[in-house]
Structure 1
Amino acid sequence: MSAIVYAQEQTLGAEDYIAVVGSTYMAERRPVGNVERVRRILTGSNMIVTARQDGKIVGVLRGISDGEWVCYVADLAVHPEHQGKGIGTGLLRKCKDLLGPGMGIVLVAYPEAVEYYRKIGMGEMPAFYFDREIRT
């Protein structure tokens, strides 16, 4: 197997996004059955970083940034067959490199992922949100 290649990929297709996110616990929390909505989600995201091995997508980070102060990471997912290999950390590192030293990264972690973010040294803060009424 070859090395993981990380890249900003603003033209990521819905099918690749769904292949990764749909294979994780996040599948029930994202509209992976609604390809058109996923396309609109990707179009509205100005920071998409992928991890590929031999051209096949194995991880994705999707964020929204003001380009100057902060990037809100909406999704960070690694295909289950590739978890535990540092790919999630690699996606965050590539995102941080692309953003530069003047930018912060913020995300809201699902309970399943809290320990991972603690382990990689991210700081913690409370978060608040209004949930959506339409989930598909």
Structure 2
Amino acid sequence: MAITYAQETGLTAEDYVGVIGQTIMRDRRPLANTARIQAMLDGANFVVTARDDDGTLVGLARCITDHAWICYCAELAVRDSHQGQGIGRAILDKAAELLGPRIGLTLMADEEAVGFYRNIGMEPANGFWRPRSDRS
């Protein structure tokens, strides 16, 4: 199975839910709120995807960047059925390639994902979080 990695615009809420709903993040995102999911996608200005041979979305990185200094990755997700195949790393590698060497990539990792990010060579950094009060 060949995977194609590319920057995409216009990713649909249905595609997003199809991937996130098949990951550990499914309970951490408002997947039943299609309008909010679409707003999240509309607000992301840099999305990199992984699609299999038949075009099925198997992974994605939803990001926001200024295209000059930094790119914040809000989600890196790979369907549970496709994990362990290097897809997550390849998505981030494609993102770095597209962004170029002058733009750093940052993200907040859930505790269970910290080992993955360390294993692919990302460096830990201090960060802060102000939680949202509306999770719907």
Partner AA of 1:58 in structure 2: V
Letter in 2 for 1:47: F
Q: Which amino acid aligns with 1:26?
A: M
Distance, in Å, in 2 between the alignment partners of 1:7 and 1:27 is 23
Counterpart Cα distance in 1 of 2:3 and 2:22:
19
Task: Give the structure 1 partner of residue 116 of structure 2.
Answer: 116
Structure 1 CA distance, aligned partners of 2:38 and 2:112?
26
Determine the C-alpha separation between the residues in 2 that align with 1:27 and 1:47.
21
Question: What SS does the corresponding residue of 1:84 show, helix, strand or coil?
Answer: coil
Give 2:34's aligned residue: 35
Query: Which segments of structure 1 move beyond 2 Å, counting only runs of 4 or more?
Result: none
Q: Distance in 1 between matches of 2:105 and 2:96?
A: 7
Percent pairwise identity: 50
Gaps of 5+ in 2: none
TM normalised by structure 1 equals: 0.97
Q: Aligned runs of 1:63-102 on 2, under 5 Å?
A: 63-102=63-102
1:80-105 deviation digits (Å, cap 9, x = unpaired): 00000000001001110110110000
RMSD: 0.7
Aligned length in residues: 135
CA–CA separation in structure 2 for the residues paired with 1:122 and 1:16: 27
Q: Where does the alignment leave 5 or more consecutive residues of structure 1 unmatched?
A: none
